[in-house]
Amino acid sequence: MMSIVIGLFLVALGIWGVIDEHYYVMDFLKGGVPIALMLGGMLATLAGIVPYEQEEEEDA
């Protein structure tokens, strides 16, 4: 029960922070989204390069 109360409080605090300081949030998103896209692209490229190892089926 306490975790629900704390969670709702943190959500309300986050919403208030986004509304009150929306310029800082937009600056963070403008800087963070390109970095996240680069990391996601590198991860997708790495996933395409590394071969997928299939496990051999064993007869029981």
- Residue ranges of the chain whose pLDDT lies below 70: 59-60
Judge whether 7 lies within some domain: no
Judge whether 11 lies within some domain: no
Please state the domain count of the chain: 1
Judge whether 54 lies within some domain: no
Token pair 């064993």 is found at: 58
pLDDT for res 59: 65
Judge whether 6 lies within some domain: no
Judge whether 38 lies within some domain: yes
Judge whether 16 lies within some domain: no
Judge whether 9 lies within some domain: no
Domain extent at residue 31 = 21-48
- How many residues appear in the chain? 60
pLDDT for res 16: 92
Please write the tens of the pLDDT for every residue from 42-58.
999 998 888 777 777 77
The residues, ordered by sequence, that sit 6+ positions from 18 with a Cβ below 8 Å of its Cβ are 25
